[in-house]
Amino acid sequence: MTQRLNKKRALVTGGSRGIGAAIVKRLASEGADVALTYVSNPDRADEVVKAAMAHGVQAFAIKADAADPAVTMQAVDRVVEKFGGIDILVNNAGVLMMGQIDDLSLEAFDRTYEINIRGVFAATKAAVRHMKPGGRIINIGSCNADRMPFAGGSAYAMSKSALVGLVKGLSRDLGPRGITINNIQPGPVDTDLNPATSDFAKSLLPLMSLGRYSTADEIAGMVAYLASPESGYITGASLTIDGGFTA
C-alpha cells in the first residue's frame, strides 16, 4: 500500500463499524493519523483503533453523538489538539429511519435531519477553521439521493439529497481556500446492519447491473482517493459507487 496520506491527520465520524471502520483502516494503511467517533460501543471502537495503529500511525476514539452539534464540534477540536491540526474530515455518521408517511414520526424525521445534515454541517464548520490548503471534506451520502426504489425511505432520501446541494454550495465557499468537499454516494453495501444475505438484499440485487452488494473496502478505496493529492481538482461533486443501481 502506498503512503499517499503520510503525515495527514483525519477524523472519521461514525468510524467504529461498517463503512466507517473500513475507512479508518484504509486511511491508516496509507499513512494518516486517524481519529474516529462512536456513540455506544467503546469496545468496538477500540478494536478499530488498534487495527489502525497496527499500521504505525496514531489513532484514538471519541464518544460523540453526531446529533449534538456542540459535541461534534468539540470532537473536531480534540483531534486538532491531539494531532496538531486536521487535513481530512470524513462525515460518515448517519442514520436510516424508515417509514411511510402515515407511520414516520416527526421525531424520526428530525433525528434524520440532525445527524445526516446538521451533523455534517457542524463538523465541516469546525474542521475548516483549522484546515490549510489541500484540506479534504468527504461526505458519505447515498445513491438514494438519485433513486429511491421502495416505499418508506423518503426522509433518508431527502437527507442524502440535501448533501448534494450542500457540497455544491460549500465548494464555492471553500474553493478559494484550497479545500475540496465532495460526496461519495454508495449503493447497497454489505455490513452487519445491511448484510448481503438478507431477504431485503435479495429484493435489491436484481436492481443492480453487477448483481451484488459492494464491500465496505470498496467504498473506503474511493474515500482514500478523494483524500489524496491526486483528487485535487474534484470538488462540489457527488460520486456514485453503486454497481449500477442508478443506471
The catalytic site residues sit at 156
d(C-alpha 156, C-alpha 74), whole Å: 26
DSSP string over 171-227: HHHHGGGT-EEEEEEE--EE-SSS-TTSHHHHHHGGGSSS-SPEEHHHHHHHHHHHH
Whole-number Cα distances in Å, 195 to 113, 200, 213, 214: 25, 9, 9, 10
Grid cell for residue 76: 473536531
Angle at 25 between CA 23 and CA 30, to 5 degrees: 95
β partners of residue 185: 240
b (16+ CB within 10 A) / e for 15-35:
bbbbbbbbbbbbbbbbbbbbb
Q: Find, among 241, 40, 247, 67, the residue nearest to 140 by Cα.
A: 241
Query: CA nearest 14: which of 86, 115, 82?
Result: 115
Distance CA 236, CA 170 (A): 7
Task: In whole angstroms, give the CA distance from residue 116 to residue 97.
Answer: 11
Q: In a 3-state reduction of DSSP, which class is residue 32?
A: coil
